[in-house]
Each structure stands twice: as C-alpha cells, then as structure tokens.
Amino acid sequence: MESEKIRDINDYNALYGYKDFKVYQLDDEMLSAVHDIYDLDIPEFNGITIPYIRKRAFFKKTINFFASKLSFHDVGFMSDKMLKRLINKNEISSIDQLVELYNSSGAMVSPYKIPIEFTRTKAFSGTLETQLVLLDDHEQFIELLSKLNIYFNEIFLPKKTTNVSVGCYAHELIHLQLLSQKGIVESLYDSEVFSIFFELLCAYENHDVYLYVLVLRINMLFSSINNMFLYQTDQKDKIEASRYELYEFCMSGKYLLSTLKAFSLLDKYLNGSYSTKRSILLRMQSVIDGEQKMSEFLEHYDVGYETIKDSSITDRLLRL
C-alpha cells in the first residue's frame, strides 16, 4: 500500500506517474474466473497464532531474503522536519519554485534506512507514506504532484514482528524501489505485482507461513471483487460517484489485477527450473534499475489479462 494522504485517483496517478489511465470495470469473464477460485479447496486459519520473532531476526531475515535475489538502489527520503524547514525557511511564490526547492531538499538513502514505525494493528499489511506538500487548489495540486520527486517519509508495519510481517516489509521495500522511478510502472493496475510476488515468495521461504499468507491474499482478492461488484451495481442509480468512492474502486481493481498477475508469476517461478528462476530475477532487476518497463516484463512472461483468469494457477499455488 502507499500514501494514505491521497484520496483521489487523479492525484494518485499524477504523483506516481501512471499514464493512460482508464477505469477498469469488472466483466463477466473476470467474475467467473474469481468464482472458479472461490470453488477451490481453500483452507481456513481461524484463531491461528503466528509466533513472534525478535526485531533483530526480523531485519536479518529481510536482508538475507533479498541478498541473493536483487540489489537495491538508494531512494529519496524526506522527514516531516525536513519538509517543515523547507517551508518555514523560504518565501514560496510559485509552484515551479516550490517544485525546485522540494526536489533539491530530499536525501538519497538506502531503502533499509527509511524509518519504520511498528504500529499497524492488522498483522498482515504495511503502509508506505510519501512526503507531500498539500495545496487547496486541486488543479494546482495535480500539477504539483506530477512534478515532485518521490520522497518517502515512513513505513508502517504490524506491531508484532513475525515471519508474516517479514513479507510485509519485503512488499514495501519493493514499492520503494519502483515508486521512486516515476513511469517505470506505467499502469496503476500493475503497481502491486512485484510487491505481492515477493511477499509470497518470502512467505514460501519461511515455510510455516506460506499457506497462511497465500490464503490471506486470496481472501483479499474476494473482498476486492466484492467491493467492485457492489460499486458497479450501485452506480446504475447514481449520476456521479464521489471522488473517494472512485478512488476506492480503482484501488480494489489494482489489488484484483495485481494479485492475479503476481500469482501467475509466482507459479512460473516456483515451478520453474533454477535457470528460469534466475532469469525472472534478472529481468526484475532490470525493471528495478529502470532499464525495462513493467509492461515489457509482464509481456515477456505472458502475464496478461487472458492468462491470469486461469484458476488452475491458484490451485497449483495452494498445493505447493
């Protein structure tokens, strides 16, 4: 997940550089594809307790997990204090001046140096906060967002550190890598693919939590499609949805499509040979390095709208 300060889809796209945006609507094919997943034999995990691990072990596990897979580039950081200083010290008279000041005031740091607050109550999700200058004028705000560098402020993770939250951290670290390069991921609907892929792969390597995390993601898939279905049905009676409702609808679409794409990619990876695994990781690295766009990567592995609707992918993942 990303910044909680933004609640408008156009602002969101402007900030992260997602282009050619079109609202994705559910169709019958997608509904029936998710229905097929619903009919699979999905285990339940009611009342299960995941053992706590110490913070030191938590960090070590995350670093070890990525060490053999990807190398990370530094990312932009701006604390609340840095932003306050920038605003208080300067007389700002135009958007361009604000952009120039802002873009030259962040620091480049290792992604592992972005501060973490262990506060989230949900045991299975994190959030990322991007530093922003808020403006009242909406037109100006959109213009500003499209020009700002991405500086992260903080990562919020579950209060209890476990093998599940190692995956949450892995998820957010991948967002840091991709979001800091506007335009690398061209579509909002592909923006969670790598994050969910690594979250699940991380769980797979910490074997005791793999099925648990996979089922969480499947359940989130069901709630995304439910939200979308309700919204779409509701729209027939409404002239115009509120900005916030539309934003939520698009976010559900993002999780729906990204999760299915991540499942397809994970299936290829886990059932692939050693050399397939290496080449997937190498290509991911080239996306992270800005040498290849996300759409080219997904096309190369045939992770498109048609292939992701095959419920046998999820079935295979459940049997691993």
Site residues for Zn ion per CB under 5 A: 1, 192, 195
Start-to-end Cα distance in the chain: 27
The smaller minimum CB distance to Zn ion, of residues 190 and 267, is found at 190
Minimal distance, residue 166 CB to Zn ion, in Å = 15
- Cα dist. 149→177, 183, 199, 281 in Å? 13, 12, 26, 27
Q: Which of 195, 206 has the CB closer to Zn ion?
A: 195
List all residues 6 or more positions away from 278 whose beta carbon is below 8 Å from its beta carbon: none
Q: State how far the Cα of 150 lies from the Cα of 15, in Å rounded to an integer.
A: 8
- Shortest distance, CB of residue 176 to Zn ion, whole angstroms? 11
144 or 202: CB nearest Zn ion: 202
Q: Which residues, 6 or more positions from 317, have their beta carbon under 8 angstroms from its beta carbon? A: 214, 263, 266, 267, 270
Apex 153 CA angle, 149 and 154, nearest 5: 140
CB of 148 to Zn ion, least distance (A): 20
Closest approach of Zn ion to the CB of residue 190, in Å? 12
User: What minimum distance in Å lies between the beta carbon of 192 and Zn ion?
Assistant: 5
Handedness of CA 307, 308, 309, 313 (dihedral sign): positive
Tokens of 218: 């499947």
Return the number of the residue (83 or 260) whose C-beta is nearest Zn ion.
260
User: Which one, 9 or 83, has the nearer CB to Zn ion?
Assistant: 9
Minimum CB separation of residue 223 from Zn ion in Å reads: 15
Taking the least distance from each CB to Zn ion, the nearer of 194 and 269 is 194
* d(C-alpha 26, C-alpha 255), whole Å: 13
Is 127 strand, coil or helix? strand
Instruction: Give me the least distance between CB of 251 and Zn ion, in Å please.
Output: 10
Residue (of 164, 213, 206) closest to 43 by Cα position: 213
The number of helix segments (H) and strand segments (E) in the chain equals 13, 5
Nearer to Zn ion, 1 or 145 (CB): 1
